[in-house]
């Protein structure tokens, strides 16, 4: 799911390296019809789905000389991921739109290679219950959560004190706070270490990405918010730490290449040999660490506030942030106004302590409308 995005294309690169182990059964994309057609011809899946029905005819015509089944729309996505021939679902649709398809796959008991962090951010409690009922296994693809997952393998029953998620700090780590007001989308998209999609890259620059990862970690590993800390590590070599009750600390290291955690998620519990680039410690001149600047990057504090409040507040946070990021990319608001949009939406939206999935859909819709009104207000005040 999300085959044309950053994680999707890197996943297909990994799959192509192991033709004896993996085959592509279904390809799903949102709007990138041209790349989806190329991928379909190369990997010859059983089915392809384009979320935007406007592209259905073009997709159908482009694949008419193949045996590939062609579908369109969100309902089709939810149906194909439950097919009996599907063993693993790579969930890499960005944002809230990836939640219901991932839930459909979990209900069907599929192994989930999870890159869509919004699924657990928005509906972590619901997801956990469904996974336990269906027997679905969720393996995180995010480098930080993959690191924690790997550090916990073989530690079943051993108590942990906390985990530490590392953050690169993004492109503005050393930029004075007063200069953030004038940064442009092109500046924020220049991540120093990682090759990611636009939305995730902006989230990394604002530290919202780390905030979402904190919420995701709570549900993935059954932790309290105070048991999850964040540390700035600009080199992105150590991907995260686990602190155990006996005083030991385990860390997972590697070069900043998403194909490594993707391969691990697909092959788990095995580790397959690969020809991916290796980490050479002698090349690492220094590994540095510092606390995040919560005044400069307020989004991280807002994420902790959301997780502490619980209920539908993380859903509100996520919806407002998606709207704010889109507005920033369209140059409708300034970078420093990203947390303003999120905070305003959190303060003015209806709170529910125990929402079901339908209520979360309503929450997402209403929060987006609230955020949009505030964005328009900020535009008019320019």
Res 112: pLDDT: 97
Q: How far apart are CA 158 and CA 36, in angstroms?
A: 45
Res 95: pLDDT: 82
pLDDT in tens, 68-81: 999 999 999 999 99
Res 194: pLDDT: 67
SS3 261: helix
- 269 burial via Cβ count (<10 Å: 0-12, 13-18, 19+): exposed
- 270 burial via Cβ count (<10 Å: 0-12, 13-18, 19+): exposed
Res 117: pLDDT: 86
pLDDT in tens, 318-375: 999 999 999 999 999 999 999 999 999 999 999 999 999 999 999 999 999 999 999 9
Predicted confidence (pLDDT) at residue 195 exceeds the cutoff of 90: no
What is the band of 96 on the pLDDT scale with cuts at 50, 70, 90?
confident
For residues 27-48, give the mean pLDDT. 97
What is the band of 109 on the pLDDT scale with cuts at 50, 70, 90?
very high
What is the band of 191 on the pLDDT scale with cuts at 50, 70, 90?
confident
Is the domain spanning 6-140 CATH 1.10.3720.10? The answer is no
Q: Which residue has the tokens 């092109």?
A: 186
For residues 265-289, give the mean pLDDT. 95
**Rounded to two decimals, what is the model's pTM?**
0.94
Res 147: pLDDT: 98
Res 200: pLDDT: 86
Domain boundaries, given as residue ranges, for the chain: 6-140, 143-256+277-308, 310-382
What is the band of 196 on the pLDDT scale with cuts at 50, 70, 90?
confident
Overall fold of domain 310-382: Rna Polymerase Sigma Factor; Chain: A (1.10.1740)
Q: Where is 341: in which H helix or E strand? A: helix 338-348
For residues 211-222, give the mean pLDDT. 96
- Mean pLDDT computed over every residue of the chain: 95
Q: How far apart are CA 260 and CA 249, in angstroms?
A: 22
């Amino acid at each position: 799911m999300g085959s044309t995005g950053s994680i999707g294309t890197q996943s297909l690169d990994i799959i192509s390296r192991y033709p004896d182990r993996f085959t592509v059964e279904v390809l799903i994309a949102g709007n990138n019809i041209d790349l989806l057609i190329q991928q379909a011809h190369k990997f010859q899946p059983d089915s392809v789905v384009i979320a935007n029905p406007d592209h259905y005819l073009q997709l159908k015509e482009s694949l008419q000389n193949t045996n590939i089944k062609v579908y369109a729309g969100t309902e089709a996505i939810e149906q194909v991921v439950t097919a009996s021939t599907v063993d693993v679902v790579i969930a890499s649709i960005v944002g809230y739109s990836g939640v219901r398809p991932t839930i459909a796959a979990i209900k069907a008991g599929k192994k989930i290679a999870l890159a869509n962090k919004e699924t657990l951010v928005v509906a972590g409690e619901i997801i956990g219950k469904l996974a336990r009922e269906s027997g679905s296994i969720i393996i995180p693809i995010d480098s930080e959560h993959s690191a924690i997952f790997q550090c916990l393998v073989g530690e079943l029953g051993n108590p942990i004190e906390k985990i530490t998620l590392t953050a690169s700090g993004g492109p503005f780590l050393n930029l004075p706070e007063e200069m953030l007001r004038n940064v442009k989308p092109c500046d924020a998209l220049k991540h120093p270490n990682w090759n990611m999609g636009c939305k995730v890259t902006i989230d990394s620059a604002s530290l919202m990405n780390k905030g979402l990862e904190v919420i995701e970690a709570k549900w993935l590993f059954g932790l309290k918010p105070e048991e999850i800390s964040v540390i700035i590590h600009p080199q992105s070599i150590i991907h995260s730490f686990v602190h155990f009750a006996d005083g030991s600390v385990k860390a997972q290291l590697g070069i900043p290449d998403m194909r490594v955690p993707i391969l691990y998620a697909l092959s788990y519990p095995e580790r397959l040999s690969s020809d991916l680039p290796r980490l050479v410690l002698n090349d690492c001149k220094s590994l540095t660490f510092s606390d995040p600047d919560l005044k400069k990057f307020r989004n991280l504090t807002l994420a902790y506030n959301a997780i502490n409040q619980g209920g539908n507040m993380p859903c509100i946070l996520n919806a407002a942030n998606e709207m704010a990021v889109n507005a920033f990319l369209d140059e409708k608001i300034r970078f420093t106004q990203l947390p303003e949009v999120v905070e305003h939406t959190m303060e003015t939206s209806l709170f529910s302590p125990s929402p079901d999935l339908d209520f979360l859909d309503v929450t997402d819709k209403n929060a987006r409308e609230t955020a949009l009104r505030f964005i328009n207000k900020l535009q008019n005040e320019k």
